[in-house]
Amino acid sequence: MSAQVSADRVSRAVRAYFLAIRAMDAEAFANTFAEDGTTCDPLGAPPITGREGIREFFQSICKNFKSVSLEEESIFVAANGAAVKWTGKGTSNSGKEVKFEGIDVFEVNADGKIQNVWAYWNPGEMIAQL
């Protein structure tokens, strides 16, 4: 990790990420990341690097849902990052309700942008509800 990032700057980056998800706003979501930011969602999936790829990834998720949101339950900020326990819910285009949960681990850069996200959750649990 590079220079120390303030806890406030880390918190703002994390809040912007979750707000963009709740708004289903792919542009705002991508813009929470550094130009060369990376997401591994879920961890073990191939990493997606760069705002354009991250935007396309988020759009590919949203197209399956009328609504989708992640609510932060607990946020733990330390050094240049944070771990967030969240609960997700959504309504598919066919009207099915889904609930799922996980933990995202963030690394935030000196500009207050997300450098890396590692998402710990099981998409299979959500897909089984569809």
Banded pLDDT at 1 (limits 50, 70, 90): very low
- Listed residue (63, 75, 91) closest to 17, CA to CA: 75
Q: In this structure, is the dihedral angle defined by the CA atoms of residues 61, 109, 40 and 96, taken in order, positive or negative?
A: negative
Taking residues 63-74, what's their average pLDDT?
A: 95
Which residues in the chain belong to E strands, given as ranges?
A: 33-40, 48-49, 65-78, 81-92, 97-108, 114-120
Banded pLDDT at 130 (limits 50, 70, 90): confident
pTM: 0.94
